[in-house]
Amino acid sequence: MKNILVIGSVGQIGSELTLELRKRYGNGNVVAGYRSTLPTGELLESGPAEVVDATNAQQIADVVKKYKIDTIYNLAAILSAVGESKPQVAWNIGIGGLMNCLEVAREYGCAVSTPSSIGAFGGGTPLDNTPQDTIMRPQTMYGVSKVAGELLSDYYFKRFGVDTRSVRYPGIISNVTLPGGGTTDYAVEIYYEAIKHKKFTCPLGAGTFLDMMYMPDAIEAAIDLMEADPSKLKHRNSFNVTAMSFDPEIIAAEIKKHIPGFEMTYNVDPMKQAIANSWPNSMDDSAARHEWGWNPKWNLRAMTEDMLKVIGEKHA
């Protein structure tokens, strides 16, 4: 029996992860933690919801005690592009929030999952087939906080035995909750714009390859890693995971197969482009495959079909 707290449950990943966790572990056993935006619809109605600001250790501890929480998914984060204009907020939420989770977890015996990101890579990282263990000198505040978060999580595991595990997410593509302020957001926006206007202005240039993943695989990764046999884990924080790698031309061509009149033009955002240029073109995720059986199910073709179908129905 698991009792789970999701911090950041109304965000892009949290909103879908919380519902999937409730399906697997029971509605009453998964608390939707939110800061200021109250969950709505199924998220609110299907299970408990509590105010939990990651930067408020007392709020985390109170909910952990009240619901006898044994696992915390800490998804509170400021994404890469926004983090550049709010570095202190990005750090306080990314690292202050994580420290709070880890301290509460140490006291109450919880496991903690705090996703890292391709943003943890940067200058000097080999960008093709980026190894699991390699140079990590990120050039964004988001990336700095992700590397620090990986180190902190490993430290709490080794020093205090807190069961910390996490993945390095690539760009996540979904059709439920929009991402906000990331560098990979274009790969979500392009589908909405294709359905609504049959055209899209891309903020990243042709040839900008980045790792990506469809949300069902992202959720599977988070849950499978927390369910994995700990004796098989040589790594903990964090595992490279990817499902596909493409540039704007390739995703646009895939969309055109379904919407022949779709047109893409470019208006490159220099800040986002610089960030994307410092991130892997494609990662090697063999450690995740060997150590806990990571095996993504969605490729670009299947994801595009599904995205256009679901968004099309919403806007019909």
Q: Of these, 118, 195, 204, 252, which contacts ligand AKB (CB under 6 A)?
A: 118
Per-residue interface string for the shown chain with ligand AKB, residues 61-80, x marking contact by CB under 6 A: ------------------xx
Q: Residues binding ligand AKB: what is the number (CB under 6 A)?
A: 12
The least CB distance from residue 275 to ligand AKB, in Å, is 8
The least CB distance from residue 170 to ligand AKB, in Å, is 6
Radius of gyration from C-alpha coordinates of the chain: 19
User: Can residue 119 be called a binding residue for ligand AKB (CB under 6 A)?
Assistant: yes
Q: What is d(CA 243, CA 297) in angstroms, rounded to the nearest whole number?
A: 8
Window 77-96: residues binding ligand AKB (CB under 6 A)? 79-80
Indicate the residue among 156 and 279 with the shorter CB distance to ligand AKB. 279
Residue in the structure block whose two tokens are 């599977």: 220
Per-residue interface string for the shown chain with ligand AKB, residues 171-210, x marking contact by CB under 6 A: x-------x--xxx--------------------------
The least CB distance from residue 83 to ligand AKB, in Å, is 8
Q: What is d(CA 88, CA 315) in angstroms, rounded to the nearest whole number?
A: 38
Alpha helices (runs of H) in the chain, residue ranges in sequence order: 12-25, 41-45, 57-66, 80-85, 87-91, 97-108, 141-160, 186-197, 215-227, 248-256, 270-278, 286-292, 300-314
Indicate the residue among 16 and 163 with the shorter CB distance to ligand AKB. 16
Window 222-251: residues binding ligand AKB (CB under 6 A)? none
Window 126-155: residues binding ligand AKB (CB under 6 A)? 142
Indicate the residue among 64 and 222 with the shorter CB distance to ligand AKB. 222
Residues 6+ apart with CB under 8 A from 43: 9, 10, 15, 18, 19, 32, 49
For residue 109, give both structure tokens: 């015996």
With vertex at residue 33, the alpha carbon angle to CA 166 and CA 315, rounded to the nearest 5 degrees, is 90
Q: What is d(CA 50, CA 95) in angstroms, rounded to the nearest whole number?
A: 21
Contact indicator for 20, 219 with CB cutoff of 8 Å: yes
End-to-end Cα spacing for the chain: 41
Catalytic residues, by residue number, are 142
Window 154-173: residues binding ligand AKB (CB under 6 A)? 169, 171
Tell me the longest C-alpha to C-alpha distance in the chain.
58
Closest residue by beta carbon to ligand AKB: 182
User: Can residue 97 be called a binding residue for ligand AKB (CB under 6 A)?
Assistant: no
Q: Which residues bind ligand AKB (CB under 6 A)?
A: 79-80, 117-119, 142, 169, 171, 179, 182-184
